[in-house]
Amino acid sequence: MGKRDYAMLRLLWDNALRRAEVCGLDRLDFRPGESRLMLKGKGRIDKEPIDLAPATVEAISDWFASMGESKSPALFVSSRDTRISVDRLYQIVGGLAEMAGIDRVVSPHKIRHSSITALLDLNGGDVRSAQAHSRHKNLSTLIRYDDGRQQLQGKAAKTLADAIVEREVD
């Protein structure tokens, strides 16, 4: 199950997948030769391809090879060969964080949020790239990530507070 958990974490981080997207994946959705995954995203009717990093392809391939015979079409299954539920993924992520000594709540969505924020840090705040990566329909959602990353609200508040202090001194 360690290989399964690692593969799920790679998808949460590398591709900023939502937990329902991870849990909804089928084995046939994985296209290792193309380094792609067919994904039915939030609010989508059809599955669309997303590109995978080589490390993610390797992690999923390792899990896939270790699965053995499975009757479930699901890519990620429990020890009882049933599809991993979104609640179980939440528990797995929290348990792994606890085992790693992380003393705050870690969830699949927090990993997604951190992934998007890290991408914005690494790409100089390119929200269009982050929008394509995260598959957010609305650009304003990404703007909130970027604002939070840059702490724009706090900087604006300090600027305004400093302006009042300067005028009081004058």
Residues known to be catalytic: 18, 42, 109, 112, 136, 145
- Measured CA to CA, the distance from residue 58 to residue 46 in angstroms comes to 26
Residues 6+ apart with CB under 8 A from 22: 8, 11, 12, 76, 84, 89, 108
The answer to whether 72 and 94 have CB atoms below 8 angstroms apart is: no
Could you give phi then psi for residue 69, rounded to 5 degrees? -75, 130
The answer to whether 78 and 110 have CB atoms below 8 angstroms apart is: no
Residue 81 falls in which region: left (phi positive, over 0), alpha (psi -120 to 50) or beta = left
CA quadruple 45, 112, 107, 81: dihedral sign: positive
